[in-house]
Amino acid sequence: MAKKVKKKELGMGIRALLSNMDEEVEKDQEKVVKELSQQVAMIPVAEVEVNPFQPRNDFDEEALEELADSINVHGLIQPITVRRMSPSEYQLISGERRLRASKMAGLEEIPAYIRIANDQQMLEMALVENIQREQLNAIEIAITYQRLKEECALTDKTLAGRVGKKRSTITNHLRLLTLPPDIQEAVKNQELSMGHARALAGVDDYALRKHFFDQTRSKKLSVRALEKMIQAYKAPKSKSGKETLPDDYKNVQQNFRSFFGSKRVQLKLKSDGKGQIVIPFGSVEELNQLIDRIEEE
């Protein structure tokens, strides 16, 4: 069952604000924009229509299914952004992939940032102000940077100037959004620091990254210890000249050896996650035995 966003996460006055939106906008549009920029609302999926001018039409179905499975386990961490057209109608601004995956996951409601008409300049100012809030965690800051880029059409360089940060700082935060939901949740819950997350974001291979993540949590590794561990695995050989493998990969290698009945089978892993399965044989007879083993399955 998909994870629900808790009511306390939505902001105390968000529902009242949405129910009286038109009246509140007439009174003080800037105040409304500022409030909405900080709050996440749960809105019915059925009330969100895709922008007809959305340039992207092709979506990887397998990737969508993987995201849907993740949403079923962890919920949707990064809300979509919509523009309110009427009390029961919203138009998507960004997050169509997240919207599609949420529908596949069977969600009836979806977390969303809500915008109103003609709010571009005020929204940018409100989001920049939000970033200055000390209580934001690294993922919340990354999401805000992403919103500024997508919704206000800012480049990394322009964004860095707006928020008074180095361009590398912007890039490092945005990379956190490429991490899987369980790691992002750990950062949000302060189980991992920004430094830990940055180190994990530099590991492309899924199994390796999960191995490092699990080790960090179970052994309470410092950022330096995690970085040293990652660096050690990126080095192809140890001092003895023998290749080293993470425990998960050693188990895979052992399974191959058991299957083929040979201790000479090797799983070779490169730092980029690519590798080889090496199955040596000493004679035609041994080769035929290996072939027989495969055909038996």
Q: Are strands 109-115 and 41-44 parallel, antiparallel or unpaired?
A: antiparallel
285 annotated active-site: no
Contacts of 46 (CB under 8 A, 6+ apart): 108
Burial of 136 (C-beta count, 10 Å sphere; 0-12/13-18/19+): middle
Q: Considering 35, 47, 96, 227, which one is annotated as catalytic?
A: 96
Contacts of 262 (CB under 8 A, 6+ apart): 279, 280, 290
Q: What are phi and psi of 54, to 5 degrees?
A: -60, 120
Contacts of 47 (CB under 8 A, 6+ apart): 88, 89, 90
Contacts of 107 (CB under 8 A, 6+ apart): 2, 45, 71, 76
Task: Say if residues 116 and 106 touch (Cβ distance below 8 Å).
Answer: no
Q: Where are the beta strands (DSSP E) in 190-294?
A: 266-269, 275-278
* DSSP state letter for 50: -
Contacts of 255 (CB under 8 A, 6+ apart): none
Contacts of 120 (CB under 8 A, 6+ apart): 152
Rounded to whole angstroms, the Cα distance separating 283 from 193 reads: 54
Q: 42 - beta bridge partners? A: 111
- As annotated, the active-site residues are 96
